[in-house]
A and B are shown apart, each in its own frame.
Chain A
Amino acid sequence: MAISPTEVRPEPASFRDPANRVFHVGDEVLRGLDPQAAAHWRALTGSTFFPALVAARKVCATEDAPPTLVPAATGTPWAAVLRHERIPFVSHPYEWSFSMLRDAALLHLEILTAALGEGFTTKDGSAYNLQWRGAQPVFIDIGSFEPMRDGEPWAGYRQFCQTVLYPLMLTAHLGVDFQPWLRARVDGIEADELRPLFNGARRLRPGVLTHLHLHGAMQHRNAAASTTEVRDQLRAAGFSRELLLATVRGIEKLVGKLDRRPPESHWSDYQRTCGYSARDRVAKEQFVAVAVAAGTRPRLVLDLGANDGRYSRLAAGHADYVVAVEQDPTVVDELYRQLRSEGQRRILPLVLDLADPSPGGGWRGVERAGFAERASADVVLALAVVHHLAIGRNVPLPEVIDWLAGLTAPGGAVVVEFVHPEDPMATRLLANKPAGLFPDYRRDAFETLLAARGRITDRLELPSGTRTLYRTVMGG
């Protein structure tokens, strides 16, 4: 759907804090501020820590914009409007790997510590305050900064526990992937949901006794007390900024300690075991490089089933940004760690099951946009994935191609590999299904379906003769 360059679209995820609201106008990301939020913004721009964090690219670049650009919800114009740097691809914490969530957490705490040092705090502590530029986390919620009030603890602590700390503890201490838990609950994991899993000796794992059990028990004991009352009591009892800093330092130390020794996964060794000959690999790499580079330079490439990121890296040489999607959290974590060590800012690895991609979530199912709503790529790479969907997951072949077309921007291209039924990998998958279940899983049928939805501009059968690559301009 074409978007008018002047149409103002409120961001569905930005409504919880009425003091400010994010809007999209064309490609621009704007934020309206009420008078108090505008005063906080002025104070922020006068601080030392904030410009330093922006310069270090840890906080998204933000500037003043004309207040007339966006309408106010109440009819009163916004006191100020900000223009934010655009994040190339918005992702959700349940699409991140363990190390991604941990690095995002450490950045949030680093930013909070820097803010506290100059008398500011963050109103909240959500994992959703962060986004990514490739393998670099970036804090995006400028509206979260406000002057701190002496004697008060961090208002975002509970949210931080629910959306960051508990998911990390779940994976680090129990070896359970946190992604399905976070995906199921927009507000994260409640202490009460997690406490039964941390019984016996597991109570003694780092952070469990205090941040989970004691925290959960305190929530019950103080359920009737208002936060205003408790804030006054804490202030009167001598809660200080130094104490708050010590608490944040303690959380930072704990998060730094949480680690995961992942089990060896089938997919983590895929490139070595997937049965490509050296000649196949060279031919495939050449085809993909030429296919991505053909036409105008892509702004966004989606690499579906990215595995170790070999083709994402190749695509990044010819495109502005690559989103590398892979189902296995262990593989994504490994890829992320490599990209991070390279300082990569143009490849974003994400955890996503292609046959069960992130749906819309939160309020009315639109607060967190589903993967299909966010994905509109100039080039979609679907290398060695069609057989997994069509045979492994029984998705009808026409639907697989329709889905690929749906992820492609108008005039964009799909670079797809069809694994012939005779190929050893396809044979292995077919052996698990009744004979004759997929009579249409044939190269000629696939090609006919592809041609009906776009214009096949390039075609290459790999030297082994059991795989064919296509570049198709969709709708072309």
Chain B
Amino acid sequence: MAEPTKTVKCLVWDLDNTLWQGVLLEGDDVQLSEETRTLLSTLDARGILQSVCSKNDFADAWERLEKLGVAEYFVHPAIGWGPKSAAVRDIAERLQFAEDTIAFVDDQPAERAEVEFHLPKVRCYAAEQLPELAGLPEFSPAVVTQDSRRRREMYQAGLRRDAERETFAGPDERFLRSLELVATIAPAGDEELLRVEELTLRTSQMNATGVHYSHEMLASLVKDPRHRVLTVTMSDRFGPYGAVGVMLLELHEHVWNLKLLATSCRVVSLGAGTLILNWIADQAARADAHLAADFRRNERNRMMEVAYRFAGYTTDTCDCLGILPPPDPSDVERLHLVPVMHDASSTVRLNAPDLRGMHGQPA
């Protein structure tokens, strides 16, 4: 089977005679074609970020992009006089994207060659290829969800949020409170499952067992009366974070087995893991059930182990564990908790269902 084409996560545009027609420094009244405008909004809606890399005066070029009404499309613009390869590398680093997910378009063969020489994994395109770009497989992600359509918006909100955190003096909790965080836990529907799938594919995330559940498998468990598939979405006053987590519970009478907990690394610092674990504990405590959380350490889920341990989970044995089928895979540890009720979070407003009222619900 052929390797599937790796989707481009960010397209970096040259400006003169690529994004617009004309050369700004030569005093041209540069024009943006309708086709280019459409391409910008098409890629944006597919969740592909865009940036610019141009040899120009920053203030002049940015002012022109604003006048043309397209400045908002671009993140981390690199407009200056240094080599383009260095600028493209800098954009990739700021985005924390691997080189092979970056594309670069420029009308000058010499500029493309310079980028190709230093960054062989960056895919380079000539300006003449722009009309066909949107039709290429690497610019056509398989799944496009609400979260991809808002990806740039979410990213820009993230930058504003980080800038604020940087300058915020005071206790952690007061900063978190100032964000006006809202989390929603809800039974997963089709769109949510796709967003979760996208989350797993695109972002670095923490998974308590490292077991990947496919969209199909989760969709089939949604219909199973014993299982609960739930997704977590978050937002704050800067904007949405999108789908940030998924959990899978199997409910037995005296014990609830948390088989899957996966969250986006972006929300770790917001206390999302603890929030979710506290909510599950409240729910189980009300149902008079113990909790058994499946956990298998890997190099990426260390934080999750800490979250479980800090929430009071232990490796102590309990009769309740005996009624559970053995974990799959067999090296999965089962962490046990006798749950107690928690105070509501002081930093996140939570909207969540009552699990006992959800018996065998279809999504």
Query: Do the two chains bind?
Result: no
